[in-house]
Amino acid sequence: MAVSRSPLNPIIHPKDIKSTQPDFEVICAINAGVARFENNVILLLRIVERPINHDRNIYLAPIFNPESGGVILKSFNRSNPVNDFTDPRIITTPEERYLTALSHLRIARSQDGIHFQVEETPALFPKMPYETYGIEDPRISEINGSYYIQYVGVSSLGIVTALARTDDFRTYERMGIIFPPDNKDVAIFPEKIHGKYYALHRPSTSAFGKPEIWLAESPDLLCWGNHQHLVGQRISGWENGRIGASAVPFLTDRGWVEIYHGANKANRYCLGALLLDADQPWHVLARSAAPVLEPETEYERIGFFPNVVFSCGALYEDGKVKIYYGAADTCIAYAEIPIEQVFDGLSG
Amino acid sequence: MAVSRSPLNPIIHPKDIKSTQPDFEVICAINAGVARFENNVILLLRIVERPINHDRNIYLAPIFNPESGGVILKSFNRSNPVNDFTDPRIITTPEERYLTALSHLRIARSQDGIHFQVEETPALFPKMPYETYGIEDPRISEINGSYYIQYVGVSSLGIVTALARTDDFRTYERMGIIFPPDNKDVAIFPEKIHGKYYALHRPSTSAFGKPEIWLAESPDLLCWGNHQHLVGQRISGWENGRIGASAVPFLTDRGWVEIYHGANKANRYCLGALLLDADQPWHVLARSAAPVLEPETEYERIGFFPNVVFSCGALYEDGKVKIYYGAADTCIAYAEIPIEQVFDGLSG
């Protein structure tokens, strides 16, 4: 598929981003929610930072403490055989699981959509008890002039999706948990359809079921119901492991287009497209046969978690889909594709 | 604790219940939703039935087919080493998981609350795509003269909780999925509190988090939000494995009382009590130190799944809590306890 990557990719790199504390380092700037605001493109970046570790005998888990408002470091002896350190992102003890890095959300602004200025302080930092292991992967839905941020909270209570609102990308109002654990990859449609709000979401099941895309409806953006399974995995190679919504859906003359992600069993993440009926979004009209975007360049193939293109937002402007995406779980890249080529890649 | 079991226990036994097809047998009658209706006590029983298997070389999984409306039998060779048959309730293949029995919901009626007449046909039988492995564990909330049934649907899509309504326990209206997978042990409060409905629920998480009790709110019983973690496990012996709501909460002069279940790591299930603030049910005022009811009698200790007392409903009448409960995952038993003794067993 004739997707055009920016020659300036990656357009945002963690090495250029200031950590929130001197003894932390930013290791990833990824998976940004996207909005157009006052002639700027706004990215709400997921910034991943970790404590700088000077002791090779230990692993550190940074944990936000809602009571003090600070971050505490929990230390684990590398030689303790009851703990599992095989996944560099996770520390697993017999009682509990921890993350080795803490994510927050930060604003980047651009006039041309390519050259971004990243703010030096967080827009949203962990605050609530369900955010103690970090906040991640925001999507932004512009609804009636307000911007609604669907973000993931991780803690020892599970993985939830919460809602926040801003009108100016300077102050933010937290509105509570909208999908109970485990649930991520929530993307709220930017307008009501016949009087109801709709959202794509991705429950994770424990015994039966697979990580796939569901649809829910709401009268008020806060309470969600009438859950329906919308799209399943396919046995084809690129999306037989897990799928989930990526960008907020946008309306075209053929229906809603959803840029979603699919991973294979080896955790190689690609992006595909869904076409949903404009009036009845629970009807899937068509779906990409091949990925719209897949990890091919060096910055997509090599990084913190290799072979990943993962988007949390795109703009649909001038007949083009402008995709901002996390590459190799490390940096932000940009690509665009004419909508007609997305349509050409769909099969019924 | 001075709980009084009925000397007629078990009051409903699967051997007395007719299967829905001649080649099926009823193996459990358990976990009933409870309501008072027209001077009768109504139990909405979970009836578990399985195909009679004449071939010792195979295991059978009964699966409801939403297209034909019938039940198909999937056969698994016992000698196939890729399949796991160690849990008698579950068949696990490399691709999928199945149940060895199919549950539906059936009405039993009684004037004295002890001697029940079980109907010969189902009240609710699997119907929807998310019910293909059965429907289970109903709770009944009487709200403004209607009875709202919160029941669990199991399928290859996951474990969901759906809502149905009846005004007469003869016809039922399905109202859709109210909690996405995995979620069970939903108990909706029987009245609005300051304009909102509330429900206890029990999400199951896959990576972080434990099976514990959450609280949600709703404007309309269909859409749920503002999810909050309400009550966690305790390291004490009887509830360190999993906890969940059991009966629909009932209001006392001290607040809402919730009869909940807790299991230890060996899957021994007991019942305990929570006291929640009448106006602010997210405030847990007190909790049983010791179980209100625990498996002690032979019918509670020996059965399809041993050492289980598990309730989906209780009546609070005449100062007594009248608990109907599944015993050893096999039959229905009855016990009552004065509310003052429940209060005496609470600690702050």
Model confidence pLDDT, tens digit, residues A216-232: 999 999 999 999 999 99
Of the candidates A152, A148, A190, A151, the one whose C-alpha atom is nearest the C-alpha of residue A167 is A148
Q: What is the pLDDT of residues B219-250, one digit of tens each?
A: 999 999 999 999 999 887 899 999 999 999 99
> Which chain B residues are closer than 8 Å to A222 by Cβ?
225-226
Asked if B159 lies within 8 A of A208 by C-beta distance, the reply is yes
Nearest to A138 by CA among A321, A312, A335, A329: A312
- Chain B's closest residue to A205, CA to CA, is B182
3-state SS of chain B is: CCCEECCCCCCECHHHCCCCCCCEEEEEEEEEEEEEECCEEEEEEEEEEEECCCCCCEEEEEEECCCCCCEEEEEEECCCCCCECCCCCEEECCCCEEECCEEEEEEEEECCCCCCEECCCCCECCCCHHHCCEEEEEEEEEECCEEEEEEEEEECCEEEEEEEEECCCCCCEEEEEEECCCEEEEEECCCCECCEEEEEEEECCCCCCCCCEEEEEECCCCEEEEEEEEECCCCCHHHCCEEEECCCCEEECCEEEEEEEEECCCCCEEEEEEEECCCCCCCEEEEECCCCECCCCHHHHCCCCCCEEEEEEEEEECCEEEEEEEECCCEEEEEEEEHHHHHHCEEC
What CA–CA distances, in Å, run from B136 to B67, B85, B102, B159, B314?
Answer: 21, 22, 9, 10, 17
The reply to whether B218 touches chain A by the CB within 8 Å rule is yes
- Between B290 and B348, the higher pLDDT residue: B290
Q: Which domains are seen in chain B, by residue range?
A: 4-347 (2.115.10.20)
Pair A249, A240: CB distance under 8 Å: no
Contact B154 A222 (CB under 8 A): no
Q: Is B226 on the interface with A (CB under 8 A)?
A: yes
B interface mutation test: which of A157, A175, A192 has the most B CBs within 10 A?
A157
- Closest CB from A183, A225, A229 relative to B222: A225
The answer to whether the Cβ–Cβ distance between A159 and B205 falls below 8 Å is yes
Average pLDDT for B297-323:
97
| Cβ neighbours of A207 in B, within 8 Å | 97, 158-159, 182, 204
Q: Tokens representing B156?
A: 């290859």
Inform me whether the C-beta atom of residue A97 falls under 8 Å from chain B C-beta atoms. Answer: yes
Helix (H) or strand (E) holding A32: strand A24-37
Q: What is the distance between the alpha carbons of residues B140 and B34, in angstroms, rounded to a whole number?
A: 6
Instruction: State whether B223 and A218 contact (CB < 8 Å).
Output: yes
Q: What 3-state class would DSSP assign to A99?
A: strand
Reference B114, options B41, B222, B29, B177; nearest CA is B41
Closest residue in A to B163 (Cα) is: A226
* CB within 8 Å: B229 and A183: no
**pLDDT band of B157, cuts 50, 70, 90:** very high
- A69 — contact with chain B (CB < 8 Å)? no
CB contact under 8 A, B181 and A203: yes
pLDDT at B1: 57
Q: Which of A156, A161, A205, A214 to mutate to test the interface with B (most CBs of B within 10 A)?
A: A205
Contact assessment for residue B74 and residue B98, using Cβ atoms and an 8 Å cutoff: yes
Say whether residue A171 is in contact with chain B using an 8 A CB cutoff.
no
Tell me: the pLDDT tens digits for B40-53?
999 999 999 999 99
Q: Is B89 on the interface with A (CB under 8 A)?
A: no
Instruction: Please list every residue in chain A whose beta carbon sits closer than 8 Å to the beta carbon of residue B204.
Output: 205-207
Quick check: A209 and B180 CB within 8 A? Answer: no
> Which pLDDT value is given to residue A111?
98
SS3 A232: coil
Kind and range of the H or E run holding A146: strand A146-155
The CA distances from residue A217 to A94, A195, B144, B198, B343, in Å, are 38, 10, 25, 18, 40
Rounded to an integer, what distance in angstroms lies between the CA atom of residue B146 and that of residue B297?
36
Mean pLDDT, each 10-residue run in order, chain A (348 residues)? 91 97 97 97 98 95 97 95 90 93 98 98 98 98 97 97 98 98 97 98 89 97 98 90 97 98 96 98 96 98 96 98 98 98 92
CB contact under 8 A, B207 and A156: no
pLDDT at A1: 58
Q: Rounded to the nearest 5 degrees, what angle is found at the Cα of A271, between the Cα atoms of A265 and A277?
A: 115
pLDDT of residue A236: 76
- CA Rg value for chain A: 19
Nearest beta carbon to residue B203 from set A176, A180, A217:
A180
What would the mean pLDDT of B87-104 be, rounded to a whole number?
Answer: 93
Q: Flag if A129 and B227 touch (Cβ within 8 Å).
A: no
**B156 in reach of chain A (CB within 8 A):** yes
User: How many beta-carbon contacts under 8 Å exist across A and B?
Assistant: 139
How far apart are alpha carbons A332 and A10 in whole angstroms?
Answer: 6
Record the tokens describing residue A167, joined without a space: 């009108």
Contacts of B226 in chain A (CB under 8 A): 176-177, 222-223
Q: Which residues pair with A44 in a beta bridge?
A: A33, A107
The sign of the CA dihedral B238, B240, B245, B250 is: positive
Cα separation, A336 vs A156, in Å, equals: 38
Reply yes or no on whether the pLDDT at B330 is more than 70: yes
Q: How many CB atoms lie within 10 A of CB B84?
A: 12
Q: Which of B192, B208, B265 to mutate to test the interface with A (most CBs of A within 10 A)?
A: B208
Is residue B2 very low, low, confident or very high in pLDDT (cuts 50, 70, 90)?
Answer: confident
Chain B residues in contact with A206 (beta carbon < 8 A): 182, 204-206
Reduced to 3 states, what is the DSSP secondary structure of residue A344?
helix
ipTM of the complex: 0.96
A180, A219, A223 ranked by CB distance to B201: nearest: A180
Point out the residue among A97, A217, A219 whose CB comes nearest to the CB of B207.
Answer: A97
As given in the structure block, the two tokens for residue B303 are: 């059965």
Is residue B222 within 8 Å of B216, Cβ to Cβ? Answer: no
CB contacts of A155 in chain B (<8 Å) are: 208-209
Q: Are B287 and B272 in contact (CB under 8 A)?
A: yes
- In one letter, which amino acid is A101? A
